[in-house]
Structure 1
Amino acid sequence: MNTGLIVIDFINDIAHSDGKIATAAPFINKNKTIQHANKLINIAREKQFLLLFIKVGFSTDYRECPENSPVFGKVKDSQALKLGTWGTAFHEELAVLPHDIVITKHRVSAFYGTSLDVFLRTNQINTILLSGVATNMTITSTAREAHDRDYNVLIIEEACAAATEEIHRNSLELLSRVANVIPLSQLETEMLY
């Protein structure tokens, strides 16, 4: 089994308490989501998984931002997610290193309009682990698309976050139809990789 870890949108505007659209920041802080993501990242490095960090962002004039999108319309109104700013830098606590692969996306799914699938297929990845924020947005969209592209999808529940525990749990329950939702401890003890 060739495994890749995809870590999505732990950027300041989304995951930091001072972020412009950081509705999930209280959940992330309370549940130590970034610390759990870092444990997962350390496992990936130790096991030499393909490790990919994904961030959402737009040019300063928002030329890639869809006009008719309710979610991205709010981003433009708040002047969030501008590439090259503090807002699109990875959260300072995230264990991302300068040599790590970073892919920028302009939509909710990590696959849409990006080189993600090329990296996965070139490296013969058939199983992906997902971590990120928000569970009900990018994790849901990416997991469903990965499923439809015939990847085996594992969502590490403590390494994902949403605005509330209820949204997070409901999303994971729905995702269990297209992915294996597992706790980090199960990944660590059963060595599913």
Structure 2
Amino acid sequence: MADVKHTALLVMDVQNGIVSRYLQGEDTLRPFQEAVSAARKAGVQVIFVRVGFSDGFPEVSPRNKMFSHLAQAGNMTVSADTTQIHESVRPEAGEPVVTKYRVSAFAGSNLEVILRAKDITHLVLCGIATSGVVLSTLREAADKDYQLTVLKDACLDGDPEVHRVLVDKVFPRQADVMTVAEWAKTLA
């Protein structure tokens, strides 16, 4: 049985403006919903992570290839609908929503403060995209000595081959990689 007291499920970038690019039917987000449900049932802390910026985008450098186009579009401020957590996995009372300013969930956010305050030592990662927030957060969390699990079916990427290589070959070097169903069994 997993040590749920010291475990947190990070639901990363499952926000309106990102989910809309990946939806391929009503079942697309089912693994995320199942992961959140299993975590809540077992008493695992659920933490939502989103990317969003202040009005005027002062956090975005024009040299940042990934984020500078978002500043030009102007639709990823923290108050915009695009940065709100998708309704299918809506946070409940007591579940923090962390705002980050770069790809990793740790970058510019208060995530590490929350994890320390709650004595979290094991992170379970899911999110959009596998090659973005999941990869960046996994690498940084591994360097910070967190125990890591990646829920491979609760990760989406625009490139299926990149997703496969990451979950089959790269992530297992630093994390346990399993399906949501496999992880849920460890919580029982």
After TM superposition, is the score higher than 0.5?
yes
| 1:114 corresponding residue in structure 2 | 109
Contact 1:33 1:159 survives alignment (8 Å): no
The 8 Å contact of residues 53 and 76 in structure 2, kept in 1 or not, is answered as yes
Computed over aligned residues only, the root mean square deviation of the Cα atoms, in angstroms, reads 1.8
SS state at 2:173 partner: coil
CA deviation map 1:147-176 (0-9, x unaligned): 111111100011111112112112223222
Q: What percentage of aligned pairs have identical amino acids?
A: 30
Q: TM-score, normalised by structure 2?
A: 0.89
Alignment of 1:72-91 (within 5 A): 72-91=67-86
SS in 2 for 1:176: helix
What code does the residue aligned with 2:89 have? L
Q: Does 1:180 align with 2:184?
A: no
Question: Residues 170 and 74 (structure 1 numbering): CA distance in 2 closer, same or farther, change over 3 Å?
Answer: farther
TM-score by length of 1: 0.87
Q: Distance in 2 between matches of 1:72 and 1:170?
A: 25
Structure 1: how far apart are the matches of 2:180 and 2:9? 13
In structure 2, runs of 5+ residues without a counterpart are none
1:46 Cα deviation after fit: 1.1
**Match status 1:14 vs 2:18:** yes
**Greater mean deviation of Cα atoms: 7-16 or 118-127:** 118-127
User: Runs of at least 4 residues of structure 1 off by over 4 A?
Assistant: none
Alignment partners' CA distance in 2, 1:82 and 1:13? 11
**Residues matched between the structures, number:** 183
Name the aligned partner's letter for residue 5 of structure 1: L
CA distance in 2, matches of 1:171, 1:60: 34
Contact 1:10 1:55 (8 Å CA) reproduced: yes
Q: CA deviation at 1:55?
A: 0.5
Residue in structure 2 matched with residue 58 of structure 1 by the alignment: 53
Give the whole-Å Cα distance in 1 for the aligned partners of 2:25 and 2:152. Answer: 14
Following superposition of structure 1 onto structure 2, how do residues 133-148 of structure 1 map, counting pairs within 5 Å? Answer: 133-148=128-143
Q: CA deviation at 1:30?
A: 5.1
- Between the aligned partners of 1:4 and 1:92, the Cα distance in structure 2 is 20
Q: What is the rounded CA distance, in whole Å, between the counterparts of 2:139 and 2:26 in structure 1?
A: 25
Paired with 2:78 and 2:149, the residues of 1 have a C-alpha distance of 29
Q: Are the structure 2 counterparts of residues 102 and 58 from structure 1 closer, same or farther at C-alpha, using a change threshold of 3 Å?
A: same
